[in-house]
Amino acid sequence: MISQRGANVSSRTGIAFMTPAGLLIGLFVVFPFFWIIAVSFTNRSLLGVNALHPQFVGLKNYLDLFDPATFWSQGGFGPSLWLTIQFVVFSALLGQVLLGLVLAWISRELSPRAKSLLQGIVMLAWILPDVVVGFAWFAYLDRDAGTLNQLLHGLNFPAADFLIEHPFLTICLFNAWRGAAFSMMLFDAALQSIPPSYLETADVAGASSWQKFRDIVLPLIRGHIVTDLILITMWTFNVFTPFLLTAGGPSFETDILPIYTYRIAFKSFEFGNGAAIGVIVMLINLAFSLFYLRLAQRGLRAKGKGT
């Protein structure tokens, strides 16, 4: 009886402490989430009659997006979706996750000083503000006075305007560079959670670096990898920073979904359409996350065989 009352008191206190954060999350996360879904079924816009009195239009916004007549048109939803998937695969999965893992694995063998130097440099790319980073890359890539072209010139390579000639490659590299720090830090922590004796046993047994990685490290950090994949995929699906470099151009070559959404919602002021895209991106992210989690569970089941 007393303990029950005690529990009530402590849960009441707990609720009181959680209320401010709960209100903020509700206001800025939960409410917009449902609001976006609601808006995606209307023809709400910023200007005109529909701004004040949006009408329920059912699935029209979704059907418009997938309308076969316009789906693959230049600057349309189809090319943007396909571009974004490539962007995620190259700059997030191969770029950030793999690069982060490799960096963490390499830094393990470095001296403490070299390791913190490497981490510091990689972290710098991550913690700098977007606008600073955008400007730095502009300066770095500039056709005439950019650092990269100066370096290439010194090596007798022809100069190039990377943002015009290789815009997609550039934003992929940019995003990989920008985000690898998070994966590196996460994997570094994961690697440190492996007892040294595990790897030393393998050393004595004669395992190569690759064998140790494949047989011991990879299975032990599987959960960390899945977490990292989920986060990095979501972040890359929603990243807007490449806009600072290319603004989606030239001629829609870097028109990834966040930029496409921005164009529809805030340039054409079609909130309803924009919201529908947002919902679809959300569903894609959900699908990716479920896929990763299933991968992890399959791994766990294989692990737990014979239980």
Partner 1 sequence: MASIQLDKIGKSYGAIDTIREIDLAIGDGEFVCLLGPSGCGKTTTLRMIAGLEQPTRGGIRIGGRDVTHAQPKDRNIGMVFQDYALYPHMTIADNIAYPLKVRGVAADARRAQAREVADVLHIADLLDRLPAQISGGQQQRTSLARALVHPADAFLFDEPLSNLDARMRVEARAFLYHLQRSRGMTAVYVTHDQAEAMALSTRIAVMCAGDIVQYAPPLEIYRRPATTFVAGFVGDPPMNLIAAQATRTQAGIALRAGGLEMAPIASWPALDLALERGDRITVGVRPEHLRIAAGDGNRLRGKLFANEAMGPESLVTLCLDDGVRITARVFGDAPVRIDGDAVFAFDAARVTLFDAQGNRIDGQN
Beta bridge partners of 56: 42
Q: How far is the CB of 284 from partner 1 (least distance, A)?
A: 31
Q: Is 208 in the site for partner 1 (CB under 8 A)?
A: yes
Q: Is 220 in the site for partner 1 (CB under 8 A)?
A: yes
Report DSSP letters for 125-163, one per residue: HHHS-HHHHHHHHHHHH-TTT-HHHHHHHHTTPPP--HH
Q: Is 141 exposed, middle or buried (0-12, 13-18, 19+ CB in 10 A)?
A: buried
The torsion defined by the Cα of 291, 98, 87 and 158, in degrees rounded to 10, comes to -170
Q: Is 223 in the site for partner 1 (CB under 8 A)?
A: no
Pick the closer one to partner 1 by CB: 155 or 205.
205
Which one of residues 86, 211, 251, 297 is an interface residue with partner 1 (CB under 8 A)?
211
DSSP at 70: T
Enumerate residues 6+ apart whose C-beta is below 8 A from 235.
Answer: 92, 179
Which one of residues 2, 3, 206, 267 is an interface residue with partner 1 (CB under 8 A)?
206
Q: Which residue from 272, 228, 290 is spatially nearest to 65, judged by alpha carbons?
A: 272
Pick the closer one to partner 1 by CB: 157 or 198.
198
Q: How far is the CB of 219 from partner 1 (least distance, A)?
A: 4
Q: How far is the CB of 183 from partner 1 (least distance, A)?
A: 22
Q: Is 204 in the site for partner 1 (CB under 8 A)?
A: yes
Pick out residues in 159-198 that bind partner 1 (CB under 8 A): 195, 197-198
Q: Which residue from 286, 298, 249, 270 is spatially nearest to 45, judged by alpha carbons?
A: 270
With CB under 8 A as the contact rule, which of the stretches 114-122, 156-164, 205-213, 286-294 interacts with partner 1? 205-213
Which one of residues 68, 129, 154, 304 is an interface residue with partner 1 (CB under 8 A)?
304
158 φ, ψ to 5°? -70, 150
| Alpha-carbon torsion (142, 147, 152, 154), positive or negative | positive
Which one of residues 67, 130, 165, 203 is an interface residue with partner 1 (CB under 8 A)?
203
Residue numbers of the site for partner 1 (CB under 8 A)? 195, 197-198, 200-208, 211, 215-216, 219-220, 303-304, 306-307
